[in-house]
Amino acid sequence: MTSGVDLGRPQTQSVGSDEDVVRVRQLVRTAAVAVRLSLVDQTKVVTAASELARNTLVYGGGGTVEVTAIDNGRRPGIRIVFADSGPGIADLDLALTDGYTTGGGLGLGLSGARRLVDEFDIQTAPGQGTRITITKWSR
């Protein structure tokens, strides 16, 4: 769904613990600086990645995060894929609603992360795991 050409090999981080979520933030921060996102956009994409990596850990039972620098011919950007083989999401509309949570959190992870990025794609089904792709373009 995402447009743009990969600029380099994706960097992958497995997510199996709290510490891995911290590593995902650091990986995304480094990539966001490399494609010259503004400070505010760096902050937004790292925050979104933090929310989604935590979801991968807590709801997906762990998984992987893949970070790629991309270019659509006009501007560079960063694409991040969060994949898990957990239970999947049965009611996606509900899961994307502000304040809805099954895990005792604030219910802002998915919906908030979607607001912080330029493109947001989610593929999930019960028993099929969840795969979320986000893109943030440099302005």
Partner 1 sequence: MERVPILKIGDILLVSIQVDMSDQTAVALQEDLAERIVATGCHGVIIDITALDIVDSFVGRMLSTIASISRVLDAETVVVGMRPAVAITLVELGLSLNGIRTALNVERGMELIAIERADDDHDEPDDDPVPEPTASP
Q: Rank residues 90 and 106 by Cβ distance to partner 1 and give the closer one.
A: 106
Q: For partner 1, which residue of 11, 50, 123, 138 counts as binding (CB under 8 A)?
A: 50
Q: Which residue has the tokens 């199996």?
A: 16
Q: Rank residues 5 and 19 by Cβ distance to partner 1 and give the closer one.
A: 19
116 binds partner 1 (CB under 8 A): yes
How far is Cα 120 from Cα 113, in angstroms, rounded to an integer? 9
Q: For partner 1, which residue of 39, 73, 74, 93 counts as binding (CB under 8 A)?
A: 39
Contact 23, 70 (CB under 8 A): no
56 binds partner 1 (CB under 8 A): no
Kindly calculate the radius of gyration of the chain based on its CA atoms and give it in whole angstroms. Answer: 14
46 binds partner 1 (CB under 8 A): yes
How far is Cα 64 from Cα 81, in angstroms, rounded to an integer? 8
108 binds partner 1 (CB under 8 A): yes
- Give min distance, CB of 45 to partner 1, in A: 9
> Own/partner pairs for 96-102, CB < 8 Å, 24+ apart?
102/59
51 binds partner 1 (CB under 8 A): yes
Tokens linked to 69: 């620098």
138 binds partner 1 (CB under 8 A): no
Amino acid letter, 29: R
Q: Rank residues 44 and 79 by Cβ distance to partner 1 and give the closer one.
A: 44
